[in-house]
Structures are given as structure tokens and as C-alpha cells.
Copies of this chain bind each other. A is one copy, B any other.
């Protein structure tokens, strides 16, 4: 394959490639290399440090599944925080809820935000909502130091290497827990249970140590541009009561015209394959 025509992410000993017609961005920020391609079949593609982050074709799956399961479980959400997520996609999903009065995005890399505002206008459009405040800074420091509290904290991180490494460590999880209002929820992207089984296992274990094992519930969706496709998110409740995803409070206020998430998908996403249940010690 000609390197001029294909972008390839090598993940260990497998690789995913897209053919592109034009490279739109290639810059080095203080934190990472940022590339954006105009691909032939997946729309525009954001790549950070060589890894697929967002494509026009499948970003809706990731962003809807990061936001709507938690929103459906919250009784009366008013304030939300997104850590990472500089593409603006999680914020855009949150702006679909009129009951949210404050949405803060804390992204460490301002150049990711600027690039996505320019080249992913649909995905990032929520950033222009008047309820949204954008903070360019360290998400771990923000939850540790701001003194602000939220009904929902969404941790939309990159992989646990480089700038996001701190977002996979217990002191950060503890600060997130302390920043939740009573009844609040946090949701984390927690990697692939099949291609990164060790990370999935250790992250859910560490979240359980902080939030309490009965308050931590992984769920799944398929993200085609991520290694292995099968991807996990983990929902954590800040109070010590069990987090029960079987009884959503509020499907009634679900935004219309979503492309992936439905109430049936909500219930389905929490059904884990046998191998993932074994990885979590839920099956012998």
C-alpha cells in the first residue's frame, strides 16, 4: 500500500487502515501529534499520536454510548463535566438535554479543540451552546482543585499512554468521585475487553476499589475504527448504593433522532459476553 494514499494505525500485531484523498492537518501540539485526513469511505478522520480517535462514519456510536446511558439513569441532571473529549462530540450529545444548565469541557490540548471546530463542525457544534464552558487544562487538576460538583462526569480519554495516563489512575478516580453531587454518575471509556483484556481487567478493578465493586458496571458497543471493534465503557455511581442500569429513570426525556442509542440498546449494552464476565470474575 502506498503511504501517500493510506493511513494505517498499527496496534501491536494488527492494523487498521483507511484510504484518504487529502491530509488536512498534521501538527505537533505540546502534547501529541494531531492529524486529520479526508478519507474516501469514512469521512474525516482524527488521529492522535498515530491512533484513530474519531471518524465521521462511526463517531456517533462512541459519543452516544458515552453519554446517553448515564443520562437515562440520572433523576435530575443539571451540571455535567467532560474531561478530555476535545472533539466536542460528548458535549454535543449533552446539549441535546434542555435540563442541563451547565456543561464544562476540560481538555488539555487546545489545538485538538481548534482543529475539530474547524474540520468536524457537526461533531463539535455543541461547543457553541451558551451553556457550555470550555476549559483548556489538565482534567485531573480540575477535578482535584476546582471545588465544583457535577451530576455527571464523562471521562473521554485517549489510551492510557502519554497525556491520558493519569486519567487511568486511582487518585484521579478518587477526585472524580469526590466531585460528584449526591446521586451523581461518572462514565469512563475503558478500552477493549478483547484486544486489551489486561487493561479492561485492571481498570474495572481499580474503579471498583474506589467506587465500590457493586457501583461499577461496564457496558459495550462496537466502534469499528478502534482496535478489535468491541469497546467498553464503565459507569460508576458516586454513592455507595448499587448502580442498577436495568431501571432507567428517564427514557422519556431521551433526545429524538439518535442514530445508535435506544432504550433496548441501553439494556442490551450491559449484557457482557461470557469471556468478559470471566475477566471480571463474574463467571467461573
Contact = CB atoms under 8 A, between A and B. Distances in A.
A239 interface: no
B15 A16 contact: yes
A41 B58 contact: no
Contacts of A49: none
Interface string A232-247: 0000000000000000
A40 B13 contact: yes
Interface stretch (A175-183, A207-215, A221-229): A221-229
Contacts of A223: 229
A262 interface: yes
A257 to B, nearest CB: 8
Interface stretch (A25-33, A130-138, A271-279): A271-279
A27 to B, nearest CB: 25
B14 A42 contact: yes
Interface in A239-279: 258-262, 264-265, 267-269, 271-275, 277
A19 B12 CA distance: 9
User: Interface size class for chain A?
Assistant: 35 or more
A248 to B, nearest CB: 14
A13 B8 contact: no
A220 B39 CA distance: 27
Copies of this chain, how many?
2
A101 interface: no
A72 to B, nearest CB: 14
Contacts of A18: 13-15
A61 interface: yes
Which residue among A6, A15, A229, A258 has the maximum number of chain B CB atoms within 10 Å of its CB? A229
A273 B262 contact: yes
A261 B58 CA distance: 25
A195 interface: yes
Given A8-B17, A17-B8, A268-B268, A258 B229 contact: no
Nearest to A5: B13
A16 B13 contact: no
Interface of A: 1, 6, 8, 10, 12-19, 39-42, 57-58, 61, 194-195, 220, 222-224, 228-230, 258-262, 264-265, 267-269, 271-275, 277
29 contacts: A1-B1, A1-B15, A13-B18, A13-B40, A13-B41, A14-B16, A14-B17, A14-B18, A15-B16, A58-B194, A220-B222, A222-B229, A222-B230, A224-B228, A224-B230, A229-B229, A229-B230, A259-B275, A260-B273, A260-B274, A260-B275, A261-B274, A262-B273, A264-B271, A265-B271, A265-B273, A265-B274, A267-B268, A267-B271
